[in-house]
Amino acid sequence: MRLTMPTGVIEGTQLAVMPFREDAVVGTMSVPTLVQLVPSPRAEEDPRKLKAASGLVRRHAELRATVQRTLKSSQKGRNVAPYAEYIAAGLKGELGAAWSTPPVTLWHAGPLAAISDELVPGSGVRTLTVTPGTMVVAIDGETQTAAWHELYDDPETYGLTYPELARVRVPFELYVDLAPADARQIFYDRNVQGVTVAKNLAMSMDQRDFGTRLAHVVADSVKVEVDGQQVPFGRLVNSSKRQVAAGDREVVTLSALRALVVTAIYGKGGLARSAESVHEDELPVGTRAEEVEAVVVPLLARLISERFPAFATRSALTAPAVLAGVGIAAHHAMPWSEAASRIGADELDRLLDGIRWEREAAYWDGVAAKAGTSGRLNFSGGVKDSGGRVADAILYPATETGRKIRGL
């Protein structure tokens, strides 16, 4: 007896997708499917594992190397474990609804084995089949892919289980049958064409960051008069820009206000934290978040309220480096500051009262700004560059810079 062979049967992994151009689709897949289709980037860079791997895995590693950076000995690689922790925290509900991962961008190196007609006419939704042995490479979102592998390899370490991970859907884009040069170009476009968000601006968007939260509390606790009406100072704080433009209603950026808050908490040590997260368990020794808030908020609220005219005119006081310097001076009025250099709130007011906040070279050139050939001041030096100099000029009036900012 001779067995007849099946015809027209294509085996493989089926994915429900929606095309958005002739060679690309979007959809979601389960975590087990993702880790099956896309091998672990870490494993593909481990010489020992690669030596013992199948020929298919070695060929995949070679193809991946043509369109991806290495994880080993790079910031990308160091970010895998924190990314896995972030995803795990989100899955466990610890971050509420305020967490997200972008779609993973995949490259299907070759034609599809099969794609169906629309499952529901007019919906665009179809199923495609990825056959075993097909090369699927992550050309964007590879750190996330590596993080999913970390979670699936050892879910218990992250407080998860396999059944929990199996229920998760991972969004993806899939580009089909592109040449390696085209895949490399997509990698380049995704990583270079976009404008990178400055770290201090990005930090001002992080609502889990203690410094950002406290900056909002400070801003909303101050009432100021605008056009004859009392409004929260928070309405005059711009949360989406690095600099306030001439036509903006706001007078200061949230990132600058955050620099004031963070340096008030840490002193000069806060300069380095202007672009880093501040967690409640990293506050000064012996303090609690509630205590820090109870002291910092009223002091800075009073400082802003009494000097609102200088804020309203967008004087030098609104520059991030100047606010950072003011924060360092304010730190000396905190009960957790060094006792030898501690001052009272009234002494802080006395130090600030004599300062000329006008944006003029006579006061700020060489301290928080640089004067160009036209004499116009540029305050773009940044918090880390100038914050310490501003603080010294505020705290030590008899010094050259201390006399300069006071017009003496």
Which residues of the chain are modeled with pLDDT < 70? Answer: 1, 5-9, 72-74, 194-205, 240-241, 373-375, 380-381
Task: Return the DSSP state at 333.
Answer: T
Please say whether the beta carbons of 88 and 77 come within 8 A.
no
Cβ neighbours, 10 Å, residue 141:
22
What is d(CA 256, CA 200) in angstroms, rounded to the nearest whole number? 9
* Pick from 49, 25, 15: nearest CA to 149: 49
Question: Does the pTM of the predicted model rise above 0.75?
Answer: no
- Check residue 323 and give its pLDDT: 92
Residue 106, strand partner residues:
138, 174
Axis crossing angle, helix 345-353 with helix 289-306, rounded to the nearest 10: 30
Count Cβ atoms within 10 A of the Cβ of residue 268 and give its class: 0-12 exposed, 13-18 middle, 19 or more buried: middle
In the three-class reduction of DSSP (H, G, I as helix; E, B as strand; rest coil), residue 403 is classed as helix
Quick: pLDDT tens for 258-307.
Answer: 999 999 999 888 888 877 788 888 888 888 989 999 999 999 999 999 98
Please say whether the beta carbons of 87 and 168 come within 8 A.
no
- Check residue 73 and give its pLDDT: 59
Please name the residue ranges forming H helices in 307-373: 308-312, 320-331, 345-353, 361-364
Edge-to-edge strand ranges of the sheet holding 136-140: 114-115, 126-130, 13-21, 24-30, 169-176, 104-108, 136-140
Return all residues near 74 (Cβ < 8 A) that are at least 6 apart.
none
* Pick from 133, 157, 161, 162: nearest CA to 60: 133
Quick: pLDDT tens for 75-124.
Answer: 777 888 899 999 999 999 998 888 999 999 999 988 888 888 888 888 88
- Check residue 203 and give its pLDDT: 61
- Check residue 145 and give its pLDDT: 92
- Residue 28: which H helix or E strand, with range? strand 24-30
